[in-house]
A and B are shown apart, each in its own frame.
Chain A
């Protein structure tokens, strides 16, 4: 049975993955304490999430379906990021993880390999049809189990300054080749401006671009993990961006810095490869250029193709520490598939739902305020979301991401070879997997 094999792959090597924070190694203490279903009495669940406004959405549950089923959920707001994974794993070591956690897709393998997430396929398996296949697959890790319910997604898109594109006579690129030409054309017409920048401070962007090109960074072969970070697809992406940086066609400064905000706000950079949540970022980064941007699908590697990567997105998972897994799974399914809940999530939290039905309803019938000039923003977004390439995450994404930031950060700064940086990233990831006790095929 390939399924049980795969599960052993994750569970077999449960080690202290993320205790790097404290630098303390702790013996893994198995805490499988039976399900202990508490009959039909009132159930109280805790939920760790970073989504702003989640308390208001959960109120809907507590006053509605939750009241009926006597399941009360309490939100404990957390900060997002890799450190939250560490916090969940630390709590899990003590058997005190909350019933429900929010987790980014790329963190799921880490959590599963530490035996922190419960298989809820029995409770939420029926929700599968409500999500795009590439999205749902991320919560199963390719097994028959289901470890989470998708909440929000970040399909990638191309954002550009409509007015400046017109002013400089540029066409919206549909292939990466055209993208490079556009960058060069802009440099000729306005040497002090850049089409965009290659930034090494958010690994998710590069991972999404590689995903679009067809890269599979983590795959399994029998009992072994295979790391393909320097596979041909990713090499193509690295060479492409490295070339643009080297010839000076695009900038090499990191994003999310005050300087980057300024560059966007003043039109020094006139495009941004980003994801569906970009309107929110642009609202704070470039407030003066509101209404001047437009969104288009990501450029493709060959004409006629129609694929995008994803950058960001998260899911709702039930932990193995939960004493009420069934109730928790019920809530997770409601939160991410119920129309009322999704409407509230869009309104209160501004998330872009993973549920395909919700992508065109409620809050998403109207463009975001920042993109008032593009009436079909969300129709287009939903179409693009359907073309998301499948992703392949492994149990040490955080290590690969850190290696990316270091290696590509200095490569971008020195305008040096990106493929060498890619090899560094591959080596660091493989070495860490081995150190953690996973079997790795070379």
Chain B
């Protein structure tokens, strides 16, 4: 190799690499611009949407819950006035909440909602767990068929499924007719417009929400664990309580919350099946707003309901983060 060729080669390579570098830099600049804009936009669009239609409405509810009820349209003291005279209105601020506390209708309703959704959740678990277990153990096509059968009601109208029970539980309904025909009773039993009807409605509507997470949890369970436990001499029932159940707690929590949270705020079921006899917070809120037109109290009920639901959510978050840590 001779010197001149060497340097010529180096020069041409330098030239080429300079050209490539500038090209690369250009690509890089364009790409950088594009990447930052594109990512930014794809975050910004849903972000802005949620801020406008989720976050701001929430703050409006919060504000109104601190406002004064008026007989006007809209039926609450203006949001934009009371900031001028904060001192005077400070005394009003907790009026709506104090009202909720003093009127024992609201306290009773809250407690009743929690009671009804807790019992319903437990009922769902008692029926849903063995069902999920049976589905997991079914073989091949049967398993898919059973799963589809659990999912199918979810895609049909919720309202119509609740309506179906109106026909069954009515005084002249299917169940009473059947019981009279069977000679078990002489007189129709009153089942509609009672807590019993509400329990039936909630369990019926939310049972699939309990089965699906339990199924997912059980499906992932290692069956050799059962074999190992049996091999070590455990009775099937012992195996269930010492191995299966502890390992499906995440599924139980997930399913439980999927039932408990919507059941607590439920409106349709207590309204159609419970009538005026069953106090549940979702229905009271709806009535407060649409019939009584007391918006500030309705808003206060909403905020209180949210706080009620935040507690189970926090439990869930806690459980999940613990699971991740493990």
Same complex for A and B? Answer no
Chain A positions near chain B (C-beta within 8 angstroms):
none
- Chain B interface (Cβ < 8 Å from any Cβ of A): none
